[in-house]
Structure 1
């Protein structure tokens, strides 16, 4: 691996890369949260969507994604927070991509063995920059990718900030606003503050997201159609994950916290996606993107590969949607994806889903985790077509049932409706416009 000192730079391939900010796990150290800032020629973001972090995990261009953290290990082991970059897809108006991080609950001087690593899609090393001079900083610019002579280079920056991610982001032009006022209606609670525009969708709590496991090092596994899974951690000095214990039954699994390696599948038209057979039984979050298609659908398949149930039906021109699939026992998850234009499907653990217990809002099709107690949900939908909400819960009789589903809402157009919810579970929300949901207890 090419180790570079502070201020130096190295050429990187204009392709898909993985970036890991890594550190050593020690008791009492602050949480490290990594972000990416996409900057124009003036060194500023063009808008709040040019900040990619745990609460806004995808850039609209598809060029940058926040993958999440490795699973927490024992003291002395190595943890990491990951970014995925496709430099070939970076828009012409973007000249630099800054890799930054904040320390929650302390300063970077309390985080030992801090470094940033860049690898390609096979896990081959590209660049390595150790940080040895952190002290009282609560935010850090670790490095930046920048255009040079028709290609890309990576520069080791190592610049600290004492004002946290909010101060760092403001310096680069991100508007950090106060939380929006509560939505009118009975029982609404003021939502928690978050970075960025209140109009931007929030992909989780403002607190740090649940940790993800570090996938194994080496060539990425290929899907049935050759699309690689999202590559990740180099084997050294990162500690490999412990082998997962075999899972005998869905009833033995906590469906809200099971972890597995995220994967990405790409195709065009109608294709069958056969997911990794090692996915644990239980729920998996599905994210799909397609543009300029008449319709986009995802169906689950039975053991013979025949389409079984619709998981998503979207009729918008541009689709960025989330839904849920149930990984069956004893066989791989198989999906039928259909769109008129090229599509990208991601299969993720539920730790990537947004969570709430009082208030949430979104656009069109989404899958959210409701963490609250029994109550009444108030829904507002601003659209013209069908608006549905399904409530998924773990099985009451695991021996016979894979999961339980209740349809809470099935309305058309502008909707203001209330529905009882029995307790924690998944809300699969589908519409053609913006929606809001709050709990009235």
Structure 2
């Protein structure tokens, strides 16, 4: 990994990359939220859509996306907030993509081991920059990608702001009426069984870092240290009655391919549900299948026949092996594997378009659906198993209709709703 001093730059490949802003979790340290700003030739955003952050997770061009946070471990371990960007898809009018961060609950001088890491989609290192001079700043421009002689370069910036994300955004041309309300990161629910995971990349050499007003020596943290021994417990993903099966957390990942390919997901993803999000354009069909322990296709998780697909579905991570998927489309596709906390949640009404996965949080009632489309409209409900020793999950087909429909179905309580269709839909709850 190329370690950059402040102000240095280096060329980066014009392809899809992952960016992790990382820090150490210690008692009393602020939480950190990462964001990206897409700037034109004059160094300004063209509108509010050019800011990508926790409340606006994707740029309209699809070139930059906020993936969310890795789950922190014990105090002193590493946490990270992730961006995905495809430099080849950045619009020609955009000259720079700025990677910034804001601190919630205190200044960056109280955030130990703050750094930014650039990697390819396989986790291969591209660039690393450690921020060693933070004091009273509540926002930081950590680095930026900028065009240079037909390609792209990354620069380590390290410029702080005392006015938070609102002040930083205003400096780049975004009109902010009031400081954005702080939104805490998703809560961490420890997996019910220990998971061994290798670090995503070798750590750079020990560097100088200023933290808590003292000059300390530290090695940049690994995002996934080896798991320590944990008390013996149930190995089934839903066996813990105190764990919320809809809120487990892990490092998001992005996979790209073309045609039919087998995707081997991160072994560190804990057993239970994972959200799958796929994009493909101008393909006759797009499918995702789960695979058995031998790598053979097993169950269809998604079947989409629209020309342009931006769909969500769910996969069940086995308790004894990594999740393996078979993805097929006629054109290039992008698959994101995300914690279920990224799914939309509702308890009274919700609406969407085509294939989606949502979490119903309400009590027993009746779901009233309206669908405007031509093909099948299906709704499956996934719930934790009633008999964990025998089943991995419970599934029930609530709706199976064709075309434009108004249909009602009873719902026994909270669960995942996997919706398959080709048009806009609405759902309201009657109790």
- TM-score (norm. length: structure 1): 0.76
- 1:43 match: secondary structure: coil
**Of 216, 238, 242, which aligns to 2:221?**
238
Q: Give, in angstroms, the shift of residue 81 of structure 1.
A: 1.7
Relative distance call for 1:419 and 1:215 in structure 2 (3 A) is farther
- 2:131 match: secondary structure: strand
Cα distance in 1 between the residues matched to 2:346 and 2:49: 22
Q: Which residue of 2 aligns with 1:404?
A: 394
Q: Which residue of 2 aligns with 1:13?
A: 12
Q: Give, in angstroms, the shift of residue 274 of structure 1.
A: 4.6
Relative distance call for 1:328 and 1:417 in structure 2 (3 A) is same
Q: Which residue of 2 aligns with 1:267?
A: 257
User: Does the 8 Å CA contact 1:4/1:156 hold for their aligned counterparts?
Assistant: no
Cα distance in 2 between the residues matched to 1:108 and 1:34: 13
Decide which moves more: 288-297 or 98-107.
Answer: 98-107
Q: Which residue of 1 aligns with 2:129?
A: 128
Relative distance call for 1:117 and 1:394 in structure 2 (3 A) is same
Decide which moves more: 288-297 or 252-261.
Answer: 252-261
Q: Unaligned stretches of 5+ in structure 2? A: 191-196, 203-217
1:208 and 2:185 matched? yes
User: Does the 8 Å CA contact 1:2/1:125 hold for their aligned counterparts?
Assistant: no
Relative distance call for 1:63 and 1:166 in structure 2 (3 A) is same
Q: Give, in angstroms, the shift of residue 424 of structure 1.
A: 2.1
1:284 and 2:284 matched? no
Q: Which residue of 2 aligns with 1:300?
A: 290
Q: Give, in angstroms, the shift of residue 403 of structure 1.
A: 1.2
Q: Give, in angstroms, the shift of residue 398 of structure 1.
A: 1.8
User: Does the 8 Å CA contact 2:370/2:406 hold for their aligned counterparts?
Assistant: yes
Cα distance in 1 between the residues matched to 2:23 and 2:384: 36
Cα distance in 2 between the residues matched to 1:112 and 1:303: 41
How many residue pairs were aligned? 398
Q: Give, in angstroms, the shift of residue 297 of structure 1.
A: 1.7
- 1:252 match: secondary structure: coil
Cα distance in 1 between the residues matched to 2:113 and 2:294: 50
Q: Give, in angstroms, the shift of residue 157 of structure 1.
A: 4.6
- 1:165 match: secondary structure: helix
Q: Unaligned stretches of 5+ in structure 1? A: 179-193, 196-204, 220-234
Q: Which residue of 1 aligns with 2:411?
A: 421
Relative distance call for 1:309 and 1:436 in structure 2 (3 A) is same
Q: Which residue of 1 aligns with 2:200?
A: 217
Q: Give, in angstroms, the shift of residue 211 of structure 1.
A: 5.4
- TM-score (norm. length: structure 2): 0.77
**Of 408, 420, 423, which aligns to 1:433?**
423
Q: Give, in angstroms, the shift of residue 290 of structure 1.
A: 1.0
Q: Which residue of 2 aligns with 1:374?
A: 364
